[in-house]
Amino acid sequence: MRSIASVVNRKSSPSFLKILRSRRYAAYWMVLPLFILIVGLVVYPFCYSLYLSMLNKSETKWVGLKNFGRLLGYGTFWLVVGNSFRFTLIAVFFKATLGLALALILNNLPLAGQRLWRGVSMIPWVMPLALSSLGWWWVFEPTHSAINWVLVQLGGTPKPWLSDPFWARVSTIVTNIWFGTPFFMIMYLAGLKSIPESLYEAAQIDGAGAVQRFRYVTLPMLSRLIAITVMFSTIVTFANFDIVRILTRGGPRYTTHLFGTYAFNIGIEAGHLPRGAAVALFMFPVLGLAAFFILRNIARGEE
Amino acid sequence: MAKVILENVSKNFGRVQAVKNFSLEVDDQEFLVLLGPSGCGKSTTLRMIAGLEEVTEGKIYIGDILVNDLPPRDRDIAMVFQDYALYPHMTVYQNMAFGLKLRKRPKEEIDRRVREAAEILGIQELLTRKPRELSGGQRQRVAVGRAIVRQPSVFLFDEPLSNLDAKLRVQMRAELSKLHNQLRTTIIYVTHDQVEAMTMGTKIVIMKDGEIQQVGSPMEVYNYPVNVFVAGFIGSPAMNFIPATLVQLEDGVWLDAGNFQLLLPPSKAERLQDLKERRVLCGIRPEHIQDKAFASKRPKGSTIEGIVEVVEPLGSEVFLSVRSGGHTLTARVDPQTRAKPNEKIELVLDTDRIHLFEQETQRRINTE
Ligand SMILES: Nc1ncnc2c1ncn2[C@@H]1O[C@H](COP(=O)(O)OP(=O)(O)OP(=O)(O)O)[C@@H](O)[C@H]1O
Ligand SMILES: [Mg+2]
């Protein structure tokens, strides 16, 4: 292999500007800003939190993996692990299913109505999550709860939406579904639009009814997109912070805490920053795995 | 194996009338070609037969059954699409077996029929591949294979060769003709390529603006085009049209085109009694114009003079573009011609092959 120096030296006048201009290096210059951003916002904080997680509470002493070990011994930590997985699995499942259903409905609407409804259904997604979570807090919150008002009007009994463990979990998951479904919908709508009409016509002539066309044409044609969106959403949902923080603050009794809010709780509210960092780092294997599957899927699509 | 009958079929898309009052009988085992320029309603007609498009008016029968309200799967048809429409996630085998699988045929029967079809088309080695691993020609064959596996009574083709390169197109043309002979099934084939229509069709329907212009065998539409549109559409290069006046002199009926005159053969002139002194369009195909040096016969009143503008040698023949007065004529002459651009040339027209059309209505004046 030739070294870079030898390549440079072979040029007639190896001026620095010339190297800058050469095609060979142009690509590196173009990705440099992104590279700096990633190092500054991802790599550095990650390494720093790795370092931080191995200090004691006052950050004066190196304690190795003690923070991680301690966490594994806490019942609360395992409760949070369970919460996070439950929250993610249920929310992602419903977001994907509802998103697909909505996309199918929208796609079958006449074109004029389609544009309107597509815009309307994007509202939850384009609203800042913190703001819409506040809105949902008003919906659930015990003293002015809108749902309870409706329930009472219909002759039912009010429910403790945010203070009962079961209903609190339902509330956070519903809010997350409400926020995340439009993303799936818009992705699936784009996916549906890219399926050639003639495939459906061929299937129709082959004898496929509506259900069979969905089963044998739509689903397989969307399968890669479904895999990628589900994995991507898994990452985002698993690392959710805003909704739980605003609706329940992890309560009642830690039953709605996720990794993100629990890390905040321990690191900032309880003041044990290193241990909070350790909580956050426990997310890494899960997110890393999801990212691996996404990248593999994309790479396979490109071959 | 079935007849297809269309009775006064029309199709409107909103205010656009894509097909107008279309009536046609397709005999059993016919290779019928729907031919016409882009946007004339060929695909729409085919899709109405397939059941992919509802008819606005009229009736469609397939094998004596009124199919207006039948869904595509109950019409006993198979269709090959322009973009092939192969299911990308299925192998070639699964693509071909899909229709039979949906119809719940036994596994052994499906297997036998898929392999038979694959053998007919020579794609046995491709059965395990996915469509994206195939060349354009191979995909085309698979699409045809998927249609023949079903053993329908009518095949519908919508410009199936237009995505292939020229050489492959010639080859597939021959193969489709062979297939038609082998399967003995009714085929309705849409194309805008008149060469495809002439070489494969047993009957050609020429359409324009949603209306039928002429129905006939390839030689009929070539020899007796009913109007200027058909005459210009069939044949390549296209027929030459020269505005002229019919003049009766003692020695016969002459066509006066301004700077040259042509004498109509007596057999043609006889049929023209009532049309003398009228403005007509004289049509003559390039293959009926010869370099005078190579013309086998040069009857009186068949020669014109002009200046050569372009010489296009194709090897077996040479196309000349010749200007004579205000007219530019294309001639297909002997390859040994000595014609050179910007030089004078004398051309001989085969006056027996002249077509006459009325200038106003563009309709053929019958002279046979
Ligand atoms: N779904 C549709 N909605 C509105 N107009 C349509 C529709 N499909 C076809 N048309 C119109 O009907 C006319 C006939 O279209 P068609 O597709 O049958 O033409 P074609 O002869 O197949 O042309 P091509 O050779 O370009 O395929 C065109 O004017 C076209 O614009
Ligand atoms: Mg078409």
Average pLDDT over residues A93-99: 95
Between CA B301 and CA B283 the distance in angstroms is 16
The distance of A266 to chain B (nearest Cα, Å) reads 49
Question: Is residue B78 scored above 60 in pLDDT?
Answer: yes
Residue type for position B260 = F
Contact A205 B102 (CB under 8 A): no
Q: What tens digit of pLDDT does each residue of B117-175 get?
A: 998 888 889 999 999 999 888 998 999 999 999 889 999 999 998 888 888 888 889 98
CA-wise closest residue to B46 among B129, B154, B145: B154
Predicted pLDDT of residue B276: 58
As a dihedral over the C-alpha atoms of residue B340, residue B341, residue B346, residue B348, rounded to 10 degrees, the angle is 90
Q: What tens digit of pLDDT does each residue of A211-237 get?
A: 999 999 999 999 889 988 998 899 889
Q: What are phi and psi of A251, to 5 degrees?
A: -85, -175
| Smallest CA separation from ligand 1 atom 4, residue | B13
In a domain, A3, yes or no: no
Question: Is residue A300 scored above 70 in pLDDT?
Answer: yes
Query: B246 is written with which tokens?
Result: 């019919």
Predicted pLDDT of residue A224: 87
Higher pLDDT, A127 or B133: B133
Specify the CATH number for the domain of residue A115.
1.10.3720.10
Contact A201 B79 (CB under 8 A): yes
Average pLDDT over residues A100-105: 92
Which of B13, B55, B82 has the most ligand 1 atoms within 8 A of CB, as the residue to mutate?
B13
One-letter-per-residue 3-state SS of A20-48: HHCHHHHHHHHHHHHHHHHHHHHHHHHHH
Average pLDDT over residues B20-26: 93
Contact A204 B88 (CB under 8 A): no
Between CA B114 and CA B148 the distance in angstroms is 9
Say if ligand 1 is within 6 A of residue B209 CB: no
Contact B85 A220 (CB under 8 A): no
H helices, E strands: number in chain A? 17, 0
Average pLDDT, chain A: 83
Picking from A198, A207, A221, the nearest residue to B81 by CB comes out as A198
**Residue A6: pLDDT band with limits 50, 70, 90:** very low
Between CA B128 and CA B285 the distance in angstroms is 50
In a domain, A189, yes or no: yes
Predicted ipTM > 0.90: no
Query: B118 is written with which tokens?
Result: 């694959």
In a domain, A65, yes or no: no
In a domain, A58, yes or no: no
Between CA B306 and CA B288 the distance in angstroms is 16
Higher pLDDT, A36 or A273: A36
| Smallest CA separation from ligand 1 atom 5, residue | B13
In a domain, A190, yes or no: yes
Contact B87 A220 (CB under 8 A): yes
In a domain, A93, yes or no: yes
pTM of the full structure: 0.81
Between CA A244 and CA A257 the distance in angstroms is 7
Say if ligand 1 is within 6 A of residue B48 CB: no
Average pLDDT, chain B: 91
> Could you count the other beta carbons within 10 Å of the beta carbon of residue B102?
16
Mutate to test the interface with B, among A205, A213, A221, A226 (most CBs of B within 10 A): A205
Scan for tokens 């000349």, then name that residue: B320
Number of domains in chain A: 1
Query: B110 is written with which tokens?
Result: 């499906």
- Residue ranges making up the domain that contains A112: 75-302
Say if ligand 1 is within 6 A of residue B208 CB: no
| Smallest CA separation from ligand 1 atom 31, residue | B39
Mutate to test the interface with A, among B81, B90, B156, B188 (most CBs of A within 10 A): B81
| Smallest CA separation from ligand 1 atom 24, residue | B38
Picking from B72, B87, B89, the nearest residue to A204 by CB comes out as B72
In a domain, A39, yes or no: no
Are B99 and A206 spatial neighbours (Cβ–Cβ below 8 Å)?
yes
Angle at A12 between CA A6 and CA A17, to 5 degrees: 85
Predicted pLDDT of residue A14: 58
Give the helix/strand (H/E) hosting B18: strand B16-26
Are B286 and B319 spatial neighbours (Cβ–Cβ below 8 Å)?
yes
Residues A152-186 as b/e (b if ≥16 CB within 10 A, e otherwise) read eeeeeeebebbeeeeebbbbbbbbbbbbbbbbbbb
In the reported structure, the alpha carbon of residue B42 is separated from the centroid of ligand 2 by a whole-number distance in angstroms of 6
In a domain, A122, yes or no: yes
8-state DSSP, B238:
P
Q: Which residues of A touch B (CB under 8 A)?
A: 196, 198-199, 201-208, 212, 216-217, 220-221, 223
Question: Is residue B274 scored above 80 in pLDDT?
Answer: no
Q: How many Å separate Cα A81 from the centre of its chain?
A: 17
Give the helix/strand (H/E) hosting A151: helix A146-153
Residue type for position A216 = Y
Predicted pLDDT of residue B311: 94
CA-wise closest residue to A242 among A285, A180, A163, A185: A180
Are B44 and B19 spatial neighbours (Cβ–Cβ below 8 Å)?
yes
Are B50 and B29 spatial neighbours (Cβ–Cβ below 8 Å)?
no
CA atoms within 13 A on the CB side of A28: 7
The distance of A193 to chain B (nearest Cα, Å) reads 15
Higher pLDDT, B17 or A18: B17
Between CA B358 and CA A303 the distance in angstroms is 61
Angle at B172 between CA B170 and CA B175, to 5 degrees: 115
Q: What share of chain B is helix, strand, coil (3-state, %, to 5)?
A: 30, 35, 35
Q: Which residues of B touch A (CB under 8 A)?
A: 50-52, 71-73, 77-79, 81-83, 85-90, 98-99, 102-103, 146, 150
What is the percentage of chain B residues whose pLDDT exceeds 70? 98
Contact B81 A221 (CB under 8 A): no
CA atoms within 13 A on the CB side of A237: 33
The distance of A206 to chain B (nearest Cα, Å) reads 4
